[in-house]
Amino acid sequence: MFLFDIILKRGHNMNDIDFIKCVPILESVANTELLVSQGQIKIKRYFKGETVYNQGCLCNSLDIVVTGSLIAYSLTESGSSTIMFEFKKDSIIGANLLFASNNIYPLSIYCSSECKLIHIEKTTVETLLHNYDFVMSYVKSLSQNSLGLNHKIAMFSRKTLRQNIYEYLLQQSIVQHSQTVYLPFSKKEFADYLGVQRPSLFRELKKMQFDGIISIDNRKIKILKHM
């Protein structure tokens, strides 16, 4: 596996310790140096395209995205994939699985860019859950994951592909503070996210452009009018 594993030991550059302390969920943790020196908090660097977890892997740590982005996807027996979640800077992975009776990843997770993750051992998380600020960050992560799942369920329950495309573009326009949206992934990955084949997505995008709803310039899509 193409992986650079940087395990911070006692006496390592203090900038690494300071770096970890700047991660929102760990800002209030007092004994960071000790946890790092004992290997209970680790930093790992991954290549673009590298798989972090395969579907069926056990969840034994709480992971925090420091840099880069990751995608969680499901793979059917026919080989088609559907993107379920995207994790970006400060996203937390595994919060909803770590203490579950069935702590198995239902999705595969891979890096859509070069990534750096912090991994916190389960026993360490149990201790950190006595820290109020850590608990609130943990609960916030659970809420975000729940909202993402609800959004995905709502998307799959909609009647048309056009509605799903428009809803996603509208959501991104709010996040990016612009009517011109830059897709954070390729159109193939966009099709996977919507759970459709790429030709179907391309056809609908062209129809929406013809109808004057959007204009398309490669990954840039401008919303011209509301549906």
Q: What is the DSSP string of 105-145?
A: -SSEEEESS-EEEEEEEHHHHHHHTTSHHHHHHHHHHHHHH
**CATH classification code of 3-131:** 2.60.120.10
User: Which segment of 6-10, 75-79, 140-144, 172-176 scores lowest on mean pLDDT?
Assistant: 6-10
Q: What is the pLDDT of residue 206?
A: 94
Most confident of the ranges 1-10, 18-27, 160-169: 160-169
- Per the model's pLDDT, the better-predicted residue between 53 and 157 turns out to be 53
Q: What is the domain partition of the chain in residue ranges?
A: 3-131, 161-223
User: In 3D, which of 85, 195, 77 has the Cα closest to residue 145?
Assistant: 85
Helix residue ranges, H only, 158-183: 161-176
User: In 3D, which of 191, 155, 46, 42 has the Cα closest to residue 110?
Assistant: 46
Determine the average pLDDT of the residues in 88-111.
92
Q: Is 202's pLDDT higher than 60?
A: yes
Assigned architecture for domain 161-223: Orthogonal Bundle (1.10)
**Which residues, listed in sequence order, are joined to residue 65 by a DSSP beta bridge?**
117
User: In 3D, which of 142, 70, 148 has the Cα closest to residue 110?
Assistant: 70
Q: The pTM is what? A: 0.67
Query: How far apart are the C-alpha atoms of 216 and 190, rounded to whole Å?
Result: 14
Q: What is the pLDDT of residue 21?
A: 75
Determine the average pLDDT of the residues in 141-168.
80
Q: Is 220's pLDDT higher than 70?
A: yes
Predicted confidence band at 25 (pLDDT cuts at 50, 70, 90)? confident
Could you read off the pLDDT of 44-78 as tens digits, one per residue? 999 999 999 998 999 999 999 999 999 998 876 55
CA 227-84-73 angle, 5° bins: 140
Q: What is the pLDDT of residue 33?
A: 64
- State the average pLDDT for the chain: 83
Q: What is the pLDDT of residue 187?
A: 86
Neighbours of 81 (CB within 10 A): 19
Query: How far apart are the C-alpha atoms of 135 and 62, rounded to whole Å?
Result: 13
Q: What is the pLDDT of residue 4?
A: 36
Question: How deeply is 213 buried, as exposed, middle or buried, from its count of CB atoms within 10 A (0-12, 13-18, 19+)?
Answer: buried
Beta strand 92-93 pairing with 61-67 = antiparallel
Could you read off the pLDDT of 117-147 as tens digits, one per residue? 999 999 999 999 998 988 998 998 888 878 8
- Per the model's pLDDT, the better-predicted residue between 124 and 195 turns out to be 124
Question: How deeply is 193 buried, as exposed, middle or buried, from its count of CB atoms within 10 A (0-12, 13-18, 19+)?
Answer: buried
Tell me if 3-131 shares its fold with 161-223.
no
